[in-house]
Amino acid sequence: MTGNGENKPPAGRRLNLEAEWLVDPATDETRASAKDVSGAGRRLPSEAALSVDPTTDETGAPAEDAPGADRRLHLESALSVGPSTDETRASAKDVSGAVWSPPDVLRLLMALGQNYLWLIVAPIIGVLATVGYLLVKNPTYEVGAQLMLKFGKEMAAPATVSAAGTQTVIPMSIRLENITAEVQIMKDPALVRTVVEELGEDYFYGEDPAVTLLQKIKKWIKDTVSETKEAIRSVLVKIGLLPELSRLDRVILLIQSVLSIEHVTRSDVIELTLSYPDPFAGEEVLGRFLDAYFEKRREIYLDKRVQDFFRNELSAVNAKLEAAEAAHAQMLKENEAWLINDQRSLAVERRAALTHDLETARAVVQIEEDRLDRIDAEISELQALIPSQSSTRRNQIKDQLRLKLVDLQLQLEAEDNRSGARSLQVQSLNEQIAHLQMMIDAEPDRVSDSVVETKNPLLDSLLAQRSAAQLTLVATKTKIETLEDDIAQIEADLETKERVGAQLENIEQDLARLRHSKQAYSQAFEDTRISSEISEALLSNVVVIAKPQGGIAPAKPRVPRTIAVGFVLSLMVASGIILVVDALRPKVRDNTDLARLVGPGVLVRAIANSRRRR
């Protein structure tokens, strides 16, 4: 009973009724509250955070020491009932998700322990896969070389500077720009392309034949992987994602990617490193790269345009000179004009002699024709027969022929002395003598003489003279024809000689001009070559201090490290999979878990504490 006289039910009864209403299984709000709290996915940090012991007060002291008849209840998480139910659940969820408590770590370790077989099998599988990868993958060796930049003789002090003089020689120092310029020259893509094109495609793609079973398996795996990559690349090329490259272009890109050119800090050294599967082949590639670099460097620092000009001009002059000499020799051979001036002089002299003989023969023909005309006129006036008193007499015709023979012999001797035995006149006289001798042999020594008449000896003499004149005329005309043919041949030869002589003269002038040009260009080229060699000898500020040398052991992959990485990665992957699978499992499995979260005692204490504070 209260002080105002009203009868109220005891406080314990009211609390029990409210507790029964709150924990009624048929109440939807109670079930929803339990569902929301259990959906947080984890337990609250501690059951003590949601409930307090009813035998203690707010300060934690026993209830008997607290003033008042009713026991005080409190909820440290500030849970309340009625309109603030959703806010209470959200506060509990935030508290449970922000704190990582030891039970959570133990639960993770418990999940890993329950799947310990996977933690044992996964590293073994990872190590085996790593070993297989190491067996299939080719090792990579590092081939290194070093260059040092120093000042050559072109940067030294001149000889006119005396050490004993007062002039100070300032020492030269290498700037960073000098080394950077050399590094940029080495990074020229044309150098790698030059090396790859010199070595050829077979040098990079050729492989030794597989002998053992392991080598055959390894080769089959590599071929399969290569074919797969080629198929994928061809598809990407067709759809336009990758450019179409030849095999040499891909080698060039690979060499450019594995070739490292770096300037060693705080030094004058440039270090080159090439990662290559074969150390000996890598040494060859890097050596050729250095040769191409030095050649490129000479082209940059040495101006050879003047030398190249004289070299090209000298080559052109040599080609023209060889062609002119060949044409000159061919013309001499075809025209048999080895001494054209002497041959032309002899031909002119022979033509003059033949012309003189021709004029003489024509004069003889004219004389003989006039003589024949006179003989014919005299014969026409003479009688054929004249009276004779002797019965026989000497053959006058034969005597006349003999006289004519003597006359021809005298002419032959005179002509032989004058013109020689091989002259045309001598040949003609010999023919006449032979013909006359035949006629003398045909005539008898004596002829019959009639008293009544006889042949006119004068007529016979004239007939003989006419015969001789006719013979002379025929021989002379034959001689004239021969002389005319010879003169025509000589004229043709002279015309050919004149033409050939003019051509040979032009060719000889060209030869003389070309020989002079060759001599001038040869001298100029030799001077420029000597100057270029002197300049190249002076330009010596880059030296190779370490030739290309391949490593003894492969740089990649490192077997112990790779196996350790495979072991750790497989263990981490297995642990991650186990924890993810465990996290995806539901955490609230029965009513006991719900009771621990939102049991009747917890809710009753929370409600009582809230009303007491009012």
Q: Which letter, b or e, does each residue of 355-382 get, where b requires 16 or more Cβ atoms within 10 Å of its Cβ?
A: eebbebbeebbeebeebbeebeeebeee
How far is Cα 76 from Cα 71, in angstroms, rounded to an integer? 16
So what's the pLDDT on residue 489? 84
The two structure tokens encoding residue 305: 């345009």
pTM over 0.75: no
So what's the pLDDT on residue 273? 92
The two structure tokens encoding residue 111: 């999940």
So what's the pLDDT on residue 487? 85
What tens digit of pLDDT does each residue of 546-594 get?
A: 888 877 767 676 778 888 888 889 889 888 888 888 777 665 555 565 5
So what's the pLDDT on residue 95? 42
3-state DSSP assignment of residue 67: coil
SS3 labels along 241-269: CCCCCCHHHHHHHHHHHHEEEEECCCCCE
With a cut of 70, which residues of the chain have pLDDT below it?
1-104, 136, 151-176, 208, 335-343, 383-393, 447-454, 456, 534-540, 553, 555, 557, 585-602, 614
3-state DSSP assignment of residue 557: coil
So what's the pLDDT on residue 342? 63
Domains parsed from the chain with CATH numbers: 11-114+589-613 (no CATH), 138-162+169-302+539-556 (3.30.1890), 340-536 (1.10.287)
Q: Which of 519, 510, 509 minimizes the C-alpha distance to 310? A: 519
| Cβ atoms 388, 454 nearer than 8 A | yes
| Cβ atoms 476, 368 nearer than 8 A | yes
So what's the pLDDT on residue 271? 92
What tens digit of pLDDT does each residue of 509-525 get?
A: 888 888 888 888 888 88
| Cβ atoms 57, 66 nearer than 8 A | yes
Q: If residue 543 lies in a helix (H) or strand (E), which one and from where to where?
A: strand 542-550
So what's the pLDDT on residue 576? 87
Q: Where are the beta strands (DSSP E) in 312-450?
A: 385-386, 392-394, 446-448
